[in-house]
Structure 1
Amino acid sequence: IATLLQIEAGPPESAESTNTFRLCLHEEFLRQCKEKHEEIYLIKERKDHRHLALIICNIKFDHLPPRNGAYVDITGMKGLLQGLGYSVVEEKNLTARDMESVLRASAARPEHKSSDSTFLVLMSHGIQGGICGMAHDEENPDVLLYDTIFQIFNNRNCLSLRDKPKVIIVQACRGANCGDLWVSSSPASLAVTSSQSPENLEADPVCKIHIEKDFIAFCSSIPHNVSWRDSIRGSIFIVELITCLQKYPWCCHQVEVFHK
């Protein structure tokens, strides 16, 4: 995945923004674009284009418990994206089919032609392979597969975003495990044996060129594990993500912000 340099372009101003964002100086923006044009995506100034972002958040479900605190996530993410210059479309409480329809409509928006990137934020209950629609239950799954999201926005199906960064944020469980472990502070406890040690790894002689390109996806949990949400403050992942994207966009690449 190529690196997305997340620098806010605008008129010269102090390093500290008047809002909660710390933005880089306009002169620094121009310098980075000139010196690193072969390493970063094309970044357009706000006056030259219109960013689009999509938030889908399922809160109420037919058969699953409500996601209390999710409204806080919507407010926080919407404010964050608007602060970064995106026009935000917000959708709530959709089935998997409706989510897919909304994603396809978003991918077809003509504004992407003059834009330089997009954000997709999906928040719901989830399973390992996808995101639950509001009608989901175990006997009658209602799931939007992760593969479907990438297919809709790939270079074959979304020409307007070809060679442009597509940032996907997912707040959803991907299993039932808690994802924690009790360990000893002894150095001996750090020794791990694995069937995937370097001696056991082999290189496949086939090289593929992917249709899915220029994506960066950040999920709130790894496969098989749950994702935590506070019923008052919102999802822990979303809270921390917003904090870092407000604090570091002036000096860090997108991937580096995620590492924070």
Structure 2
Amino acid sequence: MLGECGMLERDRRGLRKYAVTLCKEMVVDELFIQSLQTDDILTDSMAESILAEPTSHKRIWRLLSLLPKRGPRAFSSFCSALRDTEQQHLCALLSEYVDSPLPLPTQEGIVPTKRARTQESMEMCLDADSPITSSVLPCTPDFYLEHCQQSYSMVSSPRGLALVISNVSFDPCAAPDLDSRKGGEVDEEVLRKVFTELDYIVTVRRDLTAQGMRECIEQFGRQQQHQTVSSCVVCLLSHGVEGAIYGTDGQLLELDWVFEAFDNAHCPLLQNKPKMFFIQACRGEEMDCGVEQPDGPERTQSPGCEQRDAGREGEGDGDTRQMEERGRLRVKLPQRSDMICGFASLKGTAAMRNTKRGSWFIQEVNSALRFRARDTHLSDILVQVNTNTHHISQS
């Protein structure tokens, strides 16, 4: 499939995916530009405008902004220019896109005509509230150049490792009061897709006991690849109470232990790197709005699809945390520096989940990341997610 200006869409994605790496490592000199001129990819005026840029970063970004408009041969000629100028390591990064007959399966800008029925029905359920098929919007060159010195370095590819733990089904004997979290499987797929598009390696684990979650998190934190990537993401989806989430066996895993597992003392591989946490679970029993169906031991008889991710009443209330909160945003300093956490609910309240479309919080996080990650700080994104979720609850 051709892009709007003639370049194959998969090739355009290749340039977007590795744009930051190319900006950091590529050398665009006269020899490189001449190679593209020889292939009739760049005109003389284009070549002059690129070489006239005052810095290497600006030369690279101008070139990358022009290439998608130069036809279906531009990408292969660009790779040839990399080889001709002894930049084979960058060509290797892009090689997976060269002569590929189909779009890469992890990219969502082009949706294959054939797909598993379960995936198709899942996306149709989400269409009303979540732009699941919309690709993540890329950062513009000008914005990157303006803010790169004040932001975390996010130049690795992959950007980082992401762990999604989702408890959907609970042991009816060990946890009789914890109902199945219908819609939780939708959240898994939404998170897997959006973080894959953001260039993370995503691991999804389903239905773990409290001890199983602990072991999974410990193993994830020890992965040596953390040393070479720029960031880390952890998503926990389950029933919960203030300060803890439930395993499938009805036992609680303390969130404070989770944060501790990734602090500077316990996870040195991630020191000075952003660590992002997203918690879809209740933090109490209070409802901050009218809802149709509570997901706890005492259920109202209602035909709606909305549920909450609360657990047994009263458990965990005595486990207080002296941490500053603003909406769903939590930042811990200094021992737990470079951490940010988005919660699905305020302290003491329930988190809402649609049994067909997934949780309100994850829907809003997905939408916000796709459209605003390109130019908005994550803390501001979470504030907007908080506002949007509140509006949903009032509708």
In structure 2, C-alpha distance between the alignment counterparts of 1:92 and 1:162, rounded to whole Å: 28
**Aligned residue number for residue 219 of structure 2:** 105
> CA–CA distance in 2 between the matches of 1:50 and 1:179?
36
How many aligned residue pairs are there? 214
Q: Matched residue of 1:22: which SS?
A: coil
Instruction: Name the residue aligned to 2:334.
Output: 210
Contact persistence 2:168–2:182 (CA under 8 A): yes
| Deviation (angstroms), 1:180 | 3.4
1:241 aligns with: 365
Indicate the residue corresponding to 1:53 in structure 2: 162
Query: Take 1:146 and 1:236, find their aligned partners in 2: how far apart are those partners?
Result: 21
- Calculate the TM-score normalised by the size of structure 1: 0.77
Instruction: State which of 205, 208, 220 in structure 1 corresponds to 2:344.
Output: 220
Q: Which residue does 1:81 correspond to in 2?
A: 195
RMSD: 2.1
Q: What is the aligned partner in structure 1 of residue 151 from structure 2? A: 40
Q: Are 2:156 and 2:230, in contact at CA under 8 Å, matched by a contact in 1?
A: no
C-alpha separation between the residues in 2 aligned to 1:98 and 1:119? 19
Matched ranges for 1:182-193 at <5 A: none
Structure with greater helix percent: 2
Residue equivalent to 2:255: 146
The answer to whether the 8 Å contact 1:53/1:120 transfers is yes
Deviations 1:205-233 (A, max 9, x none): xxx97321111000001111111100000
Task: Quote the residue 1:90 is aligned against.
Answer: 204
Mapped contact 1:124–1:132 kept (Cα < 8 A): yes
- SS of 2:235's partner is strand
Match of 2:230 in 1: 116
Distance 1:248 1:179, change over 3 A: same
2:130 counterpart of 1:21: no
Q: Distance in 2 between matches of 1:28 and 1:100?
A: 39
Relative to structure 1, the CA distance from residue 82 to residue 230 in structure 2 (aligned partners, 3 Å threshold; closer, same or farther) is same
Instruction: Tell me, in whole angstroms, the C-alpha distance in 1 between the residues paired with 2:240 and 2:375.
Output: 33
TM-score norm. by structure 2 comes to 0.51
Secondary structure (helix, strand or coil) at the match of 1:256 reads: helix
- Mapped pair 1:10 → 2:18: yes
Matched with 2:184 is 70
Aligned counterpart for 1:254 among listed residues 363, 375, 378? 378
Q: Say whether the 8 Å CA contact 2:194–2:366 is kept in structure 1.
A: yes
Pairing 1:132–2:246 present: yes
- Unpaired runs of at least 5, structure 2: 1-15, 20-63, 69-107, 110-133, 291-331, 385-395
Within 1, Cα distance between the matches of 2:273 and 2:236? Answer: 20
Runs of 4+ more than 6 Å apart: none
Contact 2:143–2:375, Cα closer than 8 Å, also in 1: no
What amino acid does structure 2 have at the position aligned with 1:91?
R
Which letter does structure 2 place at the counterpart of 1:259? Answer: V
Q: Which has the larger radius of gyration?
A: 2
| 5+ residue gaps, structure 1 | 1-7, 137-141, 182-207
What amino acid sits opposite 2:261 in the alignment? I
Amino acid at match of 2:152: Y
Q: Secondary structure at the match of 1:54?
A: strand
Offset at 1:249?
Answer: 1.2
Q: State the percentage of identical aligned residues.
A: 29
Code of the residue aligned with 2:363 in structure 1: it is: V
Equivalence for 1:167? 276
Contact 1:9–1:29 (Cα < 8 Å) also in 2? no
Matched-pair contact (CA < 8 Å) for 2:156–2:229: no
SS at match of 2:236: strand
Could you give the per-residue CA deviations for residues 150-177 of structure 1, whole angstroms, max 9, x where no partner exists?
Answer: 1100000100100100000000011111
- 8 Å CA contact retained: 1:9, 1:45: no
Q: Report the secondary structure of 2:147's partner residue.
A: helix
